[in-house]
Amino acid sequence: MADHRPVHILIILLSFLSMVATIIFHYAATFTIRELLQIPKSWYKSNATTLYQTYKLPITPSYWTSYIWVAIFVFQVMWLGYALTLMCRTTSDKRVYLYDQGFMPIWLLVFFLLALVCHMAGVFSYDRNQQIATTFMYVLTAASLVACLVVSYVYLYRHGGELLRDDLELDVTLTRALVQNGLSMYMAWSGFNFALSLAVNLVFDNGLKPKDASTIALGLLVFFIVLYAVLDIVVRSKYMCYTFSAYLVGMAGLIGILTENYEAWERNTIMTCIVLAITLLAFGIKVAFTMWRWRTCPEPIMCSEEMKKAMANKPVVPPTPTSEQMLYPWYQPQPVYYMLPPPEMPYQQSPVIYTSPPQPMADVQTLALSPTENQVQVLNQIPSQQPVYQTIPAGGWTGWVS
């Protein structure tokens, strides 16, 4: 029987509770949520809406893009809730609980906890107008989430064969849909906010012109998008083949910039359109490549060496006995080969069992027993070859020879 791992369980619970706390502190930056939750006023020095207007730049997206955080937090809660369910489920042979199966290792949760701590630190540093600290916290948040994704991709690919071997295809799908896509959108939006925070820092702390700082931030976004697309589509496609959310978040943020700051033929507007076109192109290539892969090898794990090893080590689970087997223990529905006794053998020494199966598979024929009579019923002709006999005493059937 499987045993629990207390440290792993503790970190799963701590991650879920930390996520709830992060959501509360994130939205408590506005007066409405702060008053609703009765959070002490001394915890916050400013209001998020006021700061949005104070640090507005030519690439600051529309305020509606703040609702992207809602989708991000929903995905985080969903995959953490899924992680909680793994504490109550075991593999088919009851060897281990699923959270200890390897595809959601403890390091994934540790890096995620670090990302949440950095996120909360960034919220409070932004509230206190500490732009350098805010930029640094966004960098650490994005880096921690990148580490989460790397761990998730590698360990799912490494242990996914064991899940498929145990008929747990749904868990592979949920890990990709909730865990990896949820972390990917969180990482992408943190990187987007890092570029904006860097531009704010360059303007308000270093005296750079807003347009120039915005151009630098857009150039940084181009670098991030191209690097991610190359890794996603070319270098590590077998790991990231079903992760799409980063492109969607990037497109939403860039559209938010255009809807808020569009000026015909203005430098940053043109550059934003170029970045959006690159993102759309990368997303289109990603979709086309995924569709092609779906036709050739829809499950990359099935093509891996790890899957071959997992299938080679698949435990043999005996089938559930049928009603005939329970009533007649000697009755077996699987192919067992029998031969009638030769004429020189007395009947009381029959039946005899053919202990090696016929060789030509195209001509495989079987015999079956009549469980109510002491005889062998011939169903089809057996390919001619020298049989091997075993004598069974008269008076009934005594067992089988495999």
Q: Where are the domains of the chain?
A: 6-312, 321-402
Mean pLDDT score of the chain, rounded to an integer? Answer: 78
| Rama region for 395: left / alpha / beta (φ>0; ψ in -120 to 50; rest) | left
Closest alpha carbon to 175 in 193, 214, 136, 149: 149
Between 71-80, 121-130, 294-303, 362-371, the lowest mean confidence (pLDDT) is in 362-371
Residue 376: phi and psi, rounded to 5, are -110, 130
223 pLDDT tier (thresholds 50, 70, 90) = very high
| Max mean pLDDT range (71-80, 169-178, 229-238) | 71-80
Contact call for residues 402 and 360 (beta carbons, < 8 A)? no
Residue 103 pLDDT > 70, yes or no?
A: yes
**Sequence-distant contacts of 283-291: CB under 8 A, at least 24 apart:** 283/244, 283/247, 283/248, 283/251, 285/229, 285/233, 286/229, 286/232, 286/233, 286/244, 286/247, 287/244, 289/233, 289/237, 290/241, 290/242
3-state secondary structure of 317: coil
3-state secondary structure of 304: coil
343: Cα separation from own chain's centroid: 65
Residue 147 pLDDT > 60, yes or no?
A: yes
Residue 72 pLDDT > 70, yes or no?
A: yes
pTM (2 decimals)?
Answer: 0.73
For residues 346-364, average pLDDT? 40
Q: What is the DSSP letter of 177?
A: I
Residue 233 pLDDT > 80, yes or no?
A: yes
Residue 199 pLDDT > 80, yes or no?
A: yes
pLDDT in tens, 287-341: 998 888 777 776 666 655 555 555 555 555 555 665 555 555 555 444 444 444 4
Question: What is the predicted pLDDT for the residue at 94?
Answer: 64
Using alpha carbons only, what angle is made at residue 262 by residues 257 and 266, rounded to the nearest 5 degrees? 115
Question: What is the predicted pLDDT for the residue at 306?
Answer: 55
Residue 92 pLDDT > 80, yes or no?
A: no
Residue 47 pLDDT > 60, yes or no?
A: yes
